[in-house]
Amino acid sequence: MNPARSQHGDGQRTAGVTFAARLTFEDIRHRYHGKDTIRGVTLTAEPGEVLCLLGPSGSGKTTLLRIAAGIEVQTSGRLLINDSEVAGPSGFVPPEKRGIGLMFQDFALFPHMSVLDNVRFGLTAMPSKNAVSEAMLALERVGLSHYAEKYPHSLSGGEQQRVALARALAPRPSVLLMDEPFSGLDSRLKDTIRADTLDILRESRATAVVVTHDAEEAMRMADRIALLRDGQLVQVGTSDDLYRRPRDLFAAAFFSEINEFSGTVTGGRVETPLGTAPANGFAEGCEVSIAVRLSGLSVRESGGAIPARILARRFLGVVELLDLAIPGTERPVRARIRADLLSPAIRDVTITVDPRDILVFEKPIENPYIGETQI
């Protein structure tokens, strides 16, 4: 049976299944107006995998996506699809011949075309009748076949996002590239649209590379996450890897709110205002940075290890955010606790820290490329 014509038991047709490809960035470097934007990135998205490129603005994630799409050309290095070079010393394969789909941040729908015509726009290589059939199949999968004759302006942001996804998947790309696909959506819709999109990606079986600056979004969607900073790869792994075993202070701070301290290793340990932490693997006398997750602080009226005074508290619904004064530091310590745990009038409390939420790293060194702090 042709997978594009397969049906669920309820009669709903599924999206066409593609042959997922392996996408490899091999020592990719890129310069723009004399500035290094990508610095030797080597990374592979495995067939059928959802890989998120995560990082702050200017980290190089969108540039990598544009290089993969063929919109941008790297300064050096190679891009491979299923181990065949599509950009590098051996030549350049144009975007339309790479079997790659691209979904833009702003959806890039044509306002003068119907929803159906938008979706079949990239299906010019097949007969018109077949193109319409494939476009309708893609629209059915995203639940918008009844909007086929409507125009983009009459759709909500979430519906436009699904049309853009249908258009990207209609040619059955072996790799789908998505640039901040949910950034323009209402926060109340994001969870639903994100979950629906992930279901569609799993069903289509395409390899997907998703750009985002939102760590939680990456953790919700990705099989693996590639964390970038200043054009360099900081760490690659599952969400569990990056959260529980961050490679450096930057990675730790990107995945959770932290309190940061400095210290010196003495006898395999380091003293902090929140207690003593093990510093295994660090040399005696080594200067280190210590990160303590806000969620790792247990704040109680009494019985804790460290006395503290509440300077400020902000109710956030399920949780409260506290600013606390503690001995040993002039900087307030922050904690995130379950709301209504403390009575409204209380000021003097105690703190206990979960040792698993105390992380010790080497001190940041100077970035040799741009002369600023590099974690």
What is the pLDDT confidence band of residue 306, given thresholds at 50, 70 and 90?
very high
Does residue 5 have a pLDDT over 80? no
pTM here is 0.87
Q: Which long-range contacts (CB under 8 A, 24 or more apart) does 185-189 make?
A: 185/157, 185/158, 185/161, 186/157, 186/158, 189/157, 189/158
Does residue 203 have a pLDDT over 90? no
Q: Rounded to the nearest 5°, which phi and psi values hold at 286? A: -70, 135
* Highest mean pLDDT, choosing among 61-70, 103-112, 128-137: 61-70
Instruction: Return mean pLDDT, the chain.
Output: 89
Of the options 3.50.50.100, 3.40.50.300, 3.40.50.1010, 3.40.1190.20, the CATH number for the domain spanning 3-244: 3.40.50.300
**pLDDT given for residue 8 in this prediction:** 38
Does residue 33 have a pLDDT over 60? yes
HEC secondary structure over 85-135: EEEECCEECCHHHCCEEEECCCCCCCCCCCHHHHHHHHCCCCCHHHHHHHH
For the chain, residues classed under CATH 2.40.50.140 are 252-374
Q: Which residue has the higher pLDDT, 19 or 199?
A: 199
Tell me the pLDDT tens digit for each residue of 67-114: 999 999 999 999 999 999 999 999 999 998 999 999 887 778 999 999
Q: Go through the chain and tell me how many residues it has.
A: 375
Which residue matches tokens 């702003």? 106
Does residue 368 have a pLDDT over 80? no
For the chain, residues classed under CATH 3.40.50.300 are 3-244
Nearest Cα neighbor of 43 from 228, 178, 204, 214 is 228
Whether CATH 2.60.40.10 fits 252-374? no
Which residue matches tokens 């018109």? 128
